[in-house]
């Protein structure tokens, strides 16, 4: 068992915020799905999500027994497993909504690209650990880009533009914390923008459409533009205090598609109003703030990098998802952490938070 001393050092603020977010998520998923379901299974999504949350709490508790430092040792193996999973998806994966992202194992469909995010964070932390402070030239960072590039391209190929962009956010967040030379970073950004037209060329038509729709939703009002228009109507019509739980006409009457997954924040906006939605965002702010504190308090550089990667991932998710539902970000299919229905994402996010707890718990050198 964990020593009482270690347990005392848990980040109780982080735990509280996480539990509050999970609780909100279960209520909102229930609200978004109960109309669509035949009476017997109406809470199927809620039960499933809740069950997985519980299972993950257990997993985190077990994981807390092991020092996170061990992750560094397994980084290379994890990297291999990650590539294997992503390749497996290509060959045995099932597709939905035009992308091949899932592997069916028994009754559970796993989405390897979700897990690959946390794996990439661990691998990158391991790699950057030794290079911290020595990231000044192209030659220093090139191996890192190749290292991330392989899984990045595999995910992009699925195609899962959203997750591949998350990879980029993680990479740059961690490079930044690892002390990359600022001029080099700016140079890389400039090059990235210069290569944008080439990147555009590799996008699928529907991805191009989503980006075009973001710039002008009227390009495709019946297709991808539909989501944005309806989502904005849902959020906007929530006014200050919302229409009350289960009271959102947009979400309840099926005007809003994907309302329990990617567009769940629109349900929050419609049913809980500006006040409720801002409170939810506040919870995320506290969560991220704690993450950054943990990065600062970690006992070693590996811990700092891990925490920085996790914060980058979560922050990017929140920004892009909420931005998308509010019509200021393109539709990329990135779920809202801890809130959207989806057990693979939930597992990844909770395991990430578990790692944060682990880092914080071991923030000082343990005396034997």
Residues contributing to the site for other proteins (CB under 8 A): 132-133, 173, 176-177, 179, 217-223, 225-226, 229-230, 232-240, 249-250, 253, 255, 269-270, 273-274, 277-278, 281-282, 284-285, 288-289, 292, 295-296, 300-301, 304, 308, 311-312, 315, 318-319, 322-323, 326-328, 365
**Which C-beta is closer to other proteins: that of 58 or that of 218?**
218
Q: Are 287 and 314 in contact (CB under 8 A)?
A: yes
Q: Are 350 and 7 in contact (CB under 8 A)?
A: no
> Which residues are within 8 A (CB) of 5 and not within 5 positions of it... i.e. 6 or more apart?
none
Adjacency order of strands within the sheet including 108-110: 94-96, 99-105, 108-110
Q: How far is the CB of 239 from other proteins (least distance, A)?
A: 4
Q: Are 225 and 305 in contact (CB under 8 A)?
A: no
**Which C-beta is closer to other proteins: that of 101 or that of 210?**
210
**Which C-beta is closer to other proteins: that of 147 or that of 255?**
255
Q: How far is the CB of 327 from other proteins (least distance, A)?
A: 8
**Which C-beta is closer to other proteins: that of 295 or that of 355?**
295
**Which C-beta is closer to other proteins: that of 140 or that of 220?**
220
Q: How far is the CB of 220 from other proteins (least distance, A)?
A: 6
Q: How far is the CB of 156 from other proteins (least distance, A)?
A: 24
231 phi and psi angles, rounded to 5 deg: -65, -40
Question: Which residue's entry shows tokens 């990479």?
Answer: 171
How far apart are alpha carbons 268 and 14 in whole angstroms?
A: 22
Q: How far is the CB of 288 from other proteins (least distance, A)?
A: 5
**Which C-beta is closer to other proteins: that of 199 or that of 241?**
241
**Cis peptide bond prior to 159, omega within 30° of 0:** yes
Helix 161-177 and helix 301-325, axial crossing angle in degrees, nearest 10: 140
109 phi and psi angles, rounded to 5 deg: -100, 125
Report CA torsion sign: 281, 283, 289, 294: negative
Q: How far is the CB of 309 from other proteins (least distance, A)?
A: 11
Q: How far is the CB of 15 from other proteins (least distance, A)?
A: 19
Question: Which residue's entry shows tokens 């960072």?
Answer: 141
**Which C-beta is closer to other proteins: that of 165 or that of 315?**
315
Coil, helix or strand for 95?
Answer: strand
């Amino acid at each position: 068992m964990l020593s009482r001393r270690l347990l005392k050092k848990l980040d109780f603020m982080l735990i509280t915020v996480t539990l509050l977010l999970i609780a909100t998520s279960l209520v909102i998923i229930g609200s978004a799905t109960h109309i669509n379901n035949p009476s017997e299974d109406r809470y199927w999504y809620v039960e499933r999500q809740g069950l997985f949350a519980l299972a993950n709490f257990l997993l985190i508790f077990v994981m807390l027994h092991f020092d996170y430092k061990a992750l560094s040792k397994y980084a290379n193996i994890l990297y291999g497993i990650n590539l294997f999973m992503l390749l497996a998806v290509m060959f045995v994966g099932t597709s939905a909504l035009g992308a091949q992202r899932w592997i069916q194992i028994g009754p559970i469909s796993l989405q390897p690209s979700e897990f690959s995010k946390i794996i990439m964070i661990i691998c990158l932390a391991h790699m950057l650990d030794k290079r911290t402070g020595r990231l000044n030239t192209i030659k220093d960072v090139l191996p890192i880009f190749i290292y991330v590039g392989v899984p990045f391209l595999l995910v992009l190929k699925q195609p899962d533009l959203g997750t591949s962009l998350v990879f980029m956010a993680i990479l740059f967040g961690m490079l930044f914390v690892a002390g990359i030379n600022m001029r080099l970073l700016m140079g890389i950004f400039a090059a990235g923008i210069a290569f944008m037209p080439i990147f555009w060329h590799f996008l699928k038509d529907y991805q191009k459409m989503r980006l075009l729709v973001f710039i002008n939703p009227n390009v495709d009002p019946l297709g991808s533009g539909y989501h944005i228009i309806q989502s904005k109507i849902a959020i906007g019509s929530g006014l200050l205090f919302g229409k009350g739980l289960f009271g959102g006409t947009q979400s309840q009457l099926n005007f809003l598609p994907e309302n329990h997954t990617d567009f769940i924040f629109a349900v929050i906006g419609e049913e809980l109003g500006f006040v409720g939605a801002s409170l939810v965002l506040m919870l995320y702010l506290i969560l991220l703030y704690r993450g950054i504190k943990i990065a600062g308090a970690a006992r070693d550089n590996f811990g700092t990098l891990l925490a920085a990667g996790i914060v980058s991932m979560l922050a990017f998710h929140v920004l892009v998802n909420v931005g998308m539902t509010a019509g200021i970000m393109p539709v990329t299919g990135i779920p809202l952490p801890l809130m959207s229905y989806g057990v693979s994402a939930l597992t990844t996010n909770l395991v990430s938070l578990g790692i944060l707890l682990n880092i914080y718990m071991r923030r000082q050198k343990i005396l034997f």
